[in-house]
């Protein structure tokens, strides 16, 4: 098993490349969760995620012959950028195999650091299998994202940063995908202060490692589906599972709706862009998954911020609809001059701001001479929306 000395050695190796990211109190999240919450903002890391720590430590541990061959890695994005940047620092070739569904943001991020990108496989595990084969055929050194002692030691330096700032924590909440981050951090935490609880949070759409943790043995799943692509790992690593069974106190999961709400919360309240994988710890607090931590002092790791802007726009739009700040209604009007004007005047009187309107007179469900009007508007919450609906029903625009 990894020891604390190797994590301290990793911290020394990576100190000139890796940012000691902010660790700060989150007053509003503390208020709504009932905990004293501190956020470790690895989304502000040089590559936008903690993965640079393990990747750089691994390359720094390779001999000259291994480096000369070049390196290959499989990743959904964050490990890829970490390996790519590390390879550029050492002046060696890097080939990164990424799943075909990888967001363009992450692909471009890897290319920015000079690595070659190959898209292969429907998920991380399929990309991993391709990368292993590709590395063997081309004599490249494989850099595993989590099943490697040097990588795990590098990730464990996140815990050293946290404990240097705050020694009297009751718990640390850590995102879990393959298990490299929590393995390294838990090793450091339990070595320095065994009384601190280590809590892992995964995505319910990628349950393999959680199931394995609960059973005490490795079990795999046939598929994964989650917006948290950074932790969408199908198969369980026996290496990281062994670390977790020894050092992790609790493992919970959150679903995509809870993750999406955490992403939106962090954007709106904390002014932070955090990807799905990095938001799971906050999701657990927001949705009362850790009630036993009320009154406790806890740290939450925001593991990455490489968010797909297309997905982010969807999350924002759905979040506005759910919170009553946007509303969509469809009404049927008589298709004659003045009908639409009267309808929009009602909305104006109710202080609803129309942002989009569409007019359909050809639907086969309509009587001749009628038209469907669909209006998207900005509103001021659920009570405002109820007021709008009541008025439209009273005036005969809505039937129910």
Label each residue of 58-100 as H, E or C: HHHHCCHHHHHHCEEEECCCHHHHHHHHHHHHHCCCEEEEECC
Tally Cβ neighbours within 10 Å of residue 303. 31
Which one of 183, 204, 253, 303 is the catalytic residue?
303
Q: Give the pLDDT of residue 17.
A: 96
Whether 52-142 and 324-394 share one fold: the answer is: no
Helix axes 78-90, 104-112, angle to 10 degrees: 10
Structure tokens at 351: 């202080």
- The CA-atom distances, in angstroms, between 141 and each of 52, 57, 67, 74 are 17, 14, 7, 12
| Cα–Cα dist 104/222, whole Å | 26
CATH class of 4-50+148-318: alpha beta
Residue 303 known to be catalytic: yes
pLDDT at 400: 56
Q: What are the residue ranges in the chain where pLDDT is below 50?
A: none
Q: Which one, of 215, 246, 71, 207, lies nearest residue 151 by Cα?
A: 71
Reported in sequence order, the residue ranges of 26-182 that DSSP labels E, i.e. its strands, are: 36-41, 71-74, 94-98, 116-119, 141-142, 171-175
Cα dist from 111 to 4, 100, 107, 116, 308, whole Å? 34, 15, 6, 6, 16
pLDDT value, residue 393: 93
CA–chain centroid gap for 363, Å, is 41
Q: Does the active-site annotation cover 294?
A: no
The architecture CATH gives domain 324-394:
2-Layer Sandwich (3.30)
Q: How far is CA 304 from the centre of its chain?
A: 7
The Cα 242–Cα 126 span in angstroms is 23
User: What separation, in Å, do the N-terminal and C-terminal C-alpha atoms of the chain show?
Assistant: 64
| pLDDT tens per residue, range 226-240 | 999 889 888 899 999
Domain boundaries, the chain: 4-50+148-318, 52-142, 324-394
CATH class (in words) of the domain with range 52-142 = alpha beta
Catalytic residue (one of 41, 51, 210, 289) = 51
């Amino acid at each position: 098993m990894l020891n604390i000395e190797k994590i301290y050695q990793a911290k020394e190796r990576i100190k000139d490349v890796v940012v000691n990211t902010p660790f700060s109190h989150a007053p509003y999240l503390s208020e709504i969760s009932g905990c004293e919450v501190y956020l470790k903002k690895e989304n502000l890391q040089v590559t936008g995620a903690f993965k640079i720590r393990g990747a750089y430590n691994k390359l720094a541990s390779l001999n000259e012959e291994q480096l000369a061959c070049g390196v290959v890695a499989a990743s959904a994005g964050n490990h890829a950028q970490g390996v790519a940047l590390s390879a550029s620092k050492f002046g060696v070739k890097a080939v990164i195999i990424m799943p075909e569904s990888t967001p363009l943001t992450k692909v471009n991020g890897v290319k920015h650091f000079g690595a070659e990108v190959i898209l292969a496989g429907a998920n991380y595990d399929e990309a991993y299998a391709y990368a292993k084969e590709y590395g063997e055929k081309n004599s490249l050194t494989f850099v595993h994202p989590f099943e490697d002692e040097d990588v795990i030691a590098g990730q464990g330096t996140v815990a050293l940063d946290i404990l240097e700032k705050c020694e009297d924590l009751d718990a640390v909440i850590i995102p879990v995908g393959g298990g490299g981050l929590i393995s390294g951090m838990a090793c450091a935490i339990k070595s320095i202060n065994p009384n601190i609880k280590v809590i892992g949070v995964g995505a319910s759409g990628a349950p393999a490692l959680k199931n394995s943790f609960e059973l005490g043995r490795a079990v795999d799943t046939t598929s994964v589906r989650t917006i948290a692509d950074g932790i969408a790992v199908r198969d369980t690593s026996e290496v990281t599972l062994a670390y977790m069974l020894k050092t992790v106190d609790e493992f919970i999961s959150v679903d995509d709706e809870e993750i999406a709400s955490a992403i939106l919360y962090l954007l709106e309240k904390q002014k932070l862009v955090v990807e799905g994988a990095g938001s799971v710890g906050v999701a657990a607090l927001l949705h009362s998954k850790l009630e036993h931590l009320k009154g406790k002092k806890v740290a939450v790791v925001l593991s990455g911020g490489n968010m797909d802007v297309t997905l982010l726009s969807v999350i924002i739009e759905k979040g506005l609809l759910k919170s009553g700040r946007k509303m969509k209604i469809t009404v049927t009007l008589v298709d004659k001059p003045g009908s639409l004007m009267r309808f929009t005047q009602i909305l104006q009187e109710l202080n609803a701001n129309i942002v989009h309107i569409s007019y359909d007179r050809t639907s086969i469900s309509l009587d001749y001479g009628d038209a469907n009007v669909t209006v998207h508007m900005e509103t001021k919450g659920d009570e405002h929306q109820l007021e709008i609906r009541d008025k439209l029903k009273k005036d005969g625009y809505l039937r129910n």
